[in-house]
Structure 1
């Protein structure tokens, strides 16, 4: 039984893997469409302020809990306070819900990459292409299976041999591709207006909705409140400086999100002149609007292929971390080998992922709260469970084990320069903000408020 706990070989390996977890569809898919919808520069400014305060606090908390206990989420909370072991199970629910549908979206990304490398861009630019594809039965399932298999194979190779090696390769390539496409996008005729819209804050567009949308994005983007950072923290060696590592992960994560906005928003301006309709497309921006943008560009087929390869790498680094979290949970709970755990989790992904994929076609009659299965699971995980888990984590650290427990772990190898700031956020500011996110999300779904 190979249940010896792995670890990252050095600080760089940990930072790249944790940044790889944080950098995913949240950065390249969700961040640009929210920035486009909520005023560009003002959304970017609000997000940056929240990332360096709210995001930093939650991330260092989770990594510290993992490194302190050397356990995944369930074991970590249980070892620190048995009465709060339920919080470990609750946080584990999040990746169990997210990972199957994340792999379904990952399959869509592979499909679009194949579409571009086989020069079918004009088909993808058709308004009905995406809806018609997702409504099919076999093709989306095949691409989902390919994506899930790639993810599980990397996790099967372990922390050092699989996750760290994959991250060391994919993350630098991801940055290079992101910079390349951003520069190309900015140089398009008419794109400079998009750059101004994205970088210049328009304070007349500021509202509570902007803040709440940016807060919600923080979870999605930084892999918070789902047990991932606790799991990765448990693999982190004691000689790494915790505070510095978290700052580096944040810079990497926010930098990629920033570049994603720079890739997409100027390109949309170049294509549409910055119309409200094009900027307000929301989740369909990547799969419906961008193929049209690429189809209208010189070298659009090549740029589109590079873009979807970039998205694929980003998605894989996140789904690898989600799957590793699931594998770590069952290994810690049942003492299974990594191989057996990967087989069980792989089967679970297929059992739940197939009906989610079919939810746009064969099973579209199943519509809880009027949503597709994918949208429903996304709502439950991102809008309900994650704010609840994060709120309870703040209460747990702020008032049960006390902030000093995290501060001591952060000071194992150096000083924690922001400890007073950290204590203020974790005890008082973050809990209030998290309740606001939860209420806002639920009220919006039930039509009590509209955005």
Structure 2
């Protein structure tokens, strides 16, 4: 029997939702949960997006703003989503319905985000596998040649093949399940990913001229501060921490009741921010030195990782080895995020349909491969196809990250602040220990976060127009 929250009931936040799937497979330890959730947060956004945004918006001042937002804004949203997941034991669609059936539509919007993102994300993941193959077969000089990247992504066959390989690797882990697949793989991948990040970052500082780039990266210059810096850092936080796409709700539903939720969120943030920081440390100084201090060389989006960096590796002592290790790092980051995206989709349909999990996994794998094809061909034979003036992949990226995610987060804040009340989340956090950041959380989720989210949404629309 399901228990639904009633917003008119003053004791609503006191109610327990103990109708969850008690037999639902979950993480076996707090560490397993933290590694899996951190793996979801750490993705391609940390490796290439964070460094070029940091370079574009003032280096050290962007880094400072990002850290402040991570421990306030990001913390509050992540606590909310994980608490909702653990309290209800459901994926996003049924989680919101369990708390108040009138607001189940929020779950549907959140669930649509990973469904949109996963196919085109796998296209980029396929690019990473291609470059990893190049460096492991000793063809790094070719990757550094002008026009190599454009020639590859415009091919009608090769990118799709590598995309399918990436989807298959993701599906294998998801098919293995939460404990044997996601948890075990994450507990191996995350420590390796962090160690590789630190190693390449330290090596990057040994390049002639890299130290000036490092100083620019870590030293805040308040004259570079602007509202654009805040908006950019906020947008990156969203992109980086897997917020507002149902992932943290899904992973929260697998979290053990006895684990410290607040402490787990802090640890996830540390992992995510550390990888982003070291990514900037390994890319900004190297490219800064290579370009002679030209910051525009860093502001190239995907081109930074697939065009500029291969040129840097080609001129670097031991560059081929460093490049191979770098793309191993990027692949691990890409896989940890794609696994969480696919698991969320599988969990959504598992909650809705009475079908075996492996059948859903296979169906998601095959359908995603088909849906990914247009995003890949959008850079080649379908390059003339534009949606709102954007390529197919860029369109899906804009709609999901710039529109749907801020809307989902805003609706979630309103839902918690005015429908189920913050105390509902606070009580879930306090199942194990006191919620030390309770006052900060209540202010952020009720007032600060909604305002920031409206600003992000408006700036996204204005930026597009």
**TM tier, smaller:** over 0.9
- Report the secondary structure of 2:433's partner residue: coil
Query: Can you give the 5+ residue segments of structure 2 that lack an aligned partner in the other structure?
Result: 1-20
Query: Aligned pair 1:330/2:332, yes or no?
Result: no
The offset of 1:233, in angstroms, is: 0.2
Contact 1:3-1:335 at 8 Å conserved across structures: no
Partner of 2:171: 152
Query: Aligned pair 1:122/2:134, yes or no?
Result: no
Query: Aligned pair 1:237/2:256, yes or no?
Result: yes
Deviations 1:65-108 (A, max 9, x none): 00000000001000100110000000001000000011000000
Q: For the residues of structure 2 that align with 1:204 and 1:150, how far apart are their CA atoms?
A: 46
* Equivalent residue pairs, number: 445
- Report the secondary structure of 1:137's partner residue: coil
Q: For the residues of structure 2 that align with 1:3 and 1:398, how far apart are their CA atoms?
A: 28
Partner of 1:217: 236
Alignment map for 1:51-200 (pairs within 5 Å): 51-200=70-219
Partner of 2:47: 28
The offset of 1:141, in angstroms, is: 0.5
Query: Aligned pair 1:445/2:464, yes or no?
Result: yes
Partner of 2:3: none
Query: Can you give the 5+ residue segments of structure 1 that lack an aligned partner in the other structure?
Result: 447-451
Query: Aligned pair 1:373/2:402, yes or no?
Result: no
- TM-score for the superposition, normalised by structure 2: 0.94
Partner of 2:33: 14
Query: Aligned pair 1:434/2:441, yes or no?
Result: no
- TM-score for the superposition, normalised by structure 1: 0.97
Q: For the residues of structure 2 that align with 1:253 and 1:54, how far apart are their CA atoms?
A: 14
Deviations 1:41-67 (A, max 9, x none): 011000000000000000000000000
Q: For the residues of structure 1 that align with 2:381 and 2:46, how far apart are their CA atoms?
A: 31
The offset of 1:118, in angstroms, is: 1.4
Q: For the residues of structure 2 that align with 1:212 and 1:73, how far apart are their CA atoms?
A: 27
Q: Which runs of 4+ in 1 moved over 4 A?
A: none
- Report the secondary structure of 1:326's partner residue: helix
Query: Aligned pair 1:357/2:372, yes or no?
Result: no
Q: For the residues of structure 1 that align with 2:355 and 2:239, how far apart are their CA atoms?
A: 30
CA RMSD of aligned residues (A): 1.1
The offset of 1:338, in angstroms, is: 1.1
Contact 2:119-2:368 at 8 Å conserved across structures: yes
Contact 1:182-1:259 at 8 Å conserved across structures: yes
Alignment map for 1:397-408 (pairs within 5 Å): 397-408=416-427
Q: For the residues of structure 1 that align with 2:270 and 2:450, how far apart are their CA atoms?
A: 24
Query: Aligned pair 1:259/2:278, yes or no?
Result: yes
